[in-house]
Amino acid sequence: MWYYCGLCLHELNLNDDAIQSLNYSLQLDADLNIASKLLIMIENEMIEPEEEIIEFTPVATEKVQYADFVQDEEEDELEISLEDTLVVLERKAKDATVSGNHALAIQTWKKIIQENGSTYDSWLGLAEALEAAGHAEKATQCRQKAQEFRKKTSSLDEEISVDLITAAEEAKLSIAQNTTIDESSVNVAIEWYNKGLTLLGEDKGDQALNCFDKAISSAPREERELRVRCHNGRGHALHQLGKFSQSIQSYHQAISMDPTMVTGRTLYNMGSSYAAMEHFSDAVKCFEQALNRELDEEEIRLCKTQMNRCSLLLKEQNKSAKLQS
């Protein structure tokens, strides 16, 4: 009965349901050859040999002009990317210590000190991370630095009075000067970004990667959309070079900077990188999410095809894992 159920579902082009029925039929009667033959035929139909996931070429982002990134005149405050702010880095370091990732905690506290300068809290945080990792001697040295810095700061607070009016005037002047510099930086970043896309289209992934890296380094922090596009472009270039793990990191960086800007193409590209690494479960999740975002008809068709392939490959992967265990 389950064989005929599977046969009818196959005729209705409901192949996933047909496979489930046939598998159940074979569980009841493992010697039912007609069910085995039909199951193999359906799976072969669903896997098109000419389409290979690893041959996928990521979809490049459109080129942009400076006008696309002009800020709203009513916006007085600069938007700063959150991934490198002091609060986020401190939280990241503390969470790493709690989860037992001491190496990441130590690295993050060092980054905080390098980028934000020495403070009592930063040296104390590094000391605690080192202590948790078992480096007692180094932890003691960091605690001493923390205490020295606290004494030094207290002494300066007693001796120095700040002229707030002068400081405000200097801040205004600095902002006025930086505005011109930022505008110039945006133009430079856009030029490198567009050049990277051109090279990507010519299959020159190594050169394109270099352009995207330069675009990221020259793009002002407040130009979040441009920076997200640059990280996506970097992911495309790394995928083209076969560096799938690094490409996934770039896509994640773009997503973490602004989740609202995640497109179906980005998720599809990331899913393809996961698939190339045989991480089929993660690939399926990416493809499923990509289908819920703006894709054209051809992209939707290709996305569904890749998702079905990965689903089948995941089943085979799980079967092999069970046999090995």
Local structure of residue 54 (DSSP, 8 states): G
Assigned domain for 178 exists? no
Give how many domains the chain has, as a whole number: 3
Helix, strand, coil share (%) of the chain residues, nearest 5? 80, 0, 20
Query: The domain spanning residue 236 has which CATH number?
Result: 1.25.40.10
Q: Are 287 and 191 within one domain?
A: yes
Task: Give the CATH number of the domain where residue 115 resides.
Answer: 1.25.40
Instruction: Specify the pLDDT at position 152.
Output: 62
Give dist(CA 66, CA 47) in Å, integer.
44
Q: Do 316 and 280 fall within a single domain? A: yes
CA-closest candidate to residue 35, choices 14, 27, 308: 27
- Is residue 20 a contact partner of residue 2, using CB atoms and an 8 Å limit? no
> DSSP letter string over 126-159?
HHHHHHHTT-HHHHHHHHHHHHHHHHHHHHHHHH
Residue for token pair 């702010």:
85
Indicate whether 52 belongs to any domain: no
Per-residue pLDDT, 311:
92
- Has residue 52 got a pLDDT over 50? no
pLDDT reported for residue 288: 92
First and final CA of the chain: distance in angstroms?
33
Q: Residue 103 is part of which domain span?
A: 86-159
Are 200 and 316 contained in the same domain? Answer: yes
The pLDDT assigned to 164 comes to: 44
3-class state of residue 279 by DSSP:
coil
Residues 275 and 232 placed together within one structural domain of the fold = yes
Q: Tell whether 256 and 314 lie within a shared domain.
A: yes
pLDDT over threshold 50, residue 106 = yes
Q: Tell me, yes or no, whether 125 and 190 share the same domain.
A: no
Residue 151 shares a structural domain with residue 189:
no
Q: Is residue 260 part of a domain?
A: yes
- 216 and 295 part of one domain: yes
Cα separations in angstroms, 86 against 89, 119, 182, 274: 5, 12, 22, 31
| Co-location of 229 and 268 in the same domain | yes
Comparing CA positions, the residue from 75, 72, 92 lying closest to residue 84 is: 92
Q: Note the pLDDT of residue 182.
A: 58
Same domain, 273 and 207: yes
Given 144, 159, 174, which residue is the final one in a domain? Answer: 159
On whether residue 110 sits in a domain, the answer given is: yes
Amino acid 166: pLDDT: 52
Q: Is residue 60 part of a domain?
A: no
Residue 181, token pair as written in the block: 């510099």
Euclidean distance between CA atoms 25 and 32, whole angstroms = 8
Q: Is residue 237 part of a domain?
A: yes
Helical axes 297-324 vs 33-46, angle rounded to 10°? 130
Rounded distance between C-alpha atoms, residue 66 and residue 226, angstroms: 10
Q: Rounded mean pLDDT of 298-322?
A: 89
| Mean pLDDT, the chain, whole residue set | 76
291 shares a domain with 238: yes
Does residue 71 lie within any of the structural domains? no
Q: Percent of the chain beyond pLDDT 70?
A: 67
Last residue of a domain, one of 98, 124, 159: 159
Task: Give the Cα separation of 95 and 104 in Å (integer).
Answer: 10
pLDDT value at 224 more than 80:
yes
pLDDT digit string, tens, across residues 235-274: 999 988 988 889 999 988 888 888 888 888 888 988 999 9
| Pair (285, 195) in one structural domain | yes
Report yes or no on 175 lying in a domain.
no
